[in-house]
Amino acid sequence: MRLQLTTTAALAVLAFGATSAAAQDTASTSWTGPYVGGQLGYSWQPSDGDETITFDRGLDGTFGDTVVTGTGANAFSPGFCGGRYNNGTRAGGCRKDNDATAWKLHAGYDYQFGTGPSGFVVGAVAEGGVSYLYDYVTAFSTTPNAYTIGSRLTENYALRGRAGYAASTGTMIYGTGGATYGKIRNRYRNANNLPFSVNDRSKWQWGWNYGGGIEQKVGKFSVGALYLFTVMDNDDFVVRQTGAAPFTATNPQGTDFRRTFSKFAFHQLLATVSYRF
């Protein structure tokens, strides 16, 4: 991750360095107008080492209400981890979630106030792309067994507003935020290959994102660097574990599983390039 983050940052720095001589040629040009372009960079997830899986043997949709009392209350006493199990035992540990390269295409419109080479700029941008991110959490039981729930973001789109200030050198610093919409594919597995059922593996989910960036004009183009933090809903995926799942003696119908963190969240650092009409 450090290498790819460094590479992304280096690309942005080189782009700005290579355009310093051209900045004066574009300083008098307004930012007002439409543009199209692309983004390339890196996506990574917040630390999720404290996430767990909650479970319910009452099968009434109220998760956690039957965990703390009765036979089998300590079925998950071996603990949890924020990743995928290696060999099905707590001693075997887990593989961490992957970070990934991200790319997007975008189109937008900016409006610069005033008639001088500098001034406030507002605009809107629509974008879409992929991040190849996975987010896993595992519960270990005394059976022994391990139960992993995973989520993958396959594609996402966003509509963001942005506002900033453009200097007379052709450089703009801005903040941005808006709504996002993406497809999240959920999956489940257990180390003992016990039977299970799921309610819905794949869903389109809404969310929001915000961040900020810097952009430099180079003739008809602009290059920049952008940071975004994105959070999407992912709260309705439920697994019903049957077979020899915990609490089966008390409830032969099985046990429902759901992860405790109901969001899919990630950071992005992106190099951007746009053609301005």
pLDDT in tens, 95-151: 888 788 999 999 999 999 987 789 999 999 999 998 888 899 998 988 888 999 999
Give Cα separations from 1 to 40, 97, 101, 143, 249 (angstroms). Answer: 15, 12, 10, 36, 45
Instruction: Determine the average pLDDT of the residues in 243-269.
Output: 74
In which band, very low, low, confident or very high, does the pLDDT at 250 lie, cut at 50, 70 and 90? Answer: low
SS3 content of the chain, % helix, strand, coil (to 5): 10, 55, 35
What one-letter code names the amino acid at 243?
G
Q: For position 53, what pLDDT does the model report?
A: 84
For the entire predicted model, the pTM comes to: 0.81
Question: φ, ψ for residue 123 (rounded to 5)?
Answer: -175, -175
Q: For position 240, what pLDDT does the model report?
A: 82
Q: For position 251, what pLDDT does the model report?
A: 53
Per-residue pLDDT at 172 exceeds 50: yes
Collapsed DSSP state (helix, strand, coil) of residue 105: strand
Q: What's the whole-number average pLDDT of the chain?
A: 82
> Which residues contact residue 81 at a Cβ distance below 8 angstroms, ignoring those fewer than 6 apart?
49, 93, 94, 137, 138, 140
In percent, the amount of the chain with pLDDT more than 70 equals 78
Give the tokens for residue 142: 């005394």
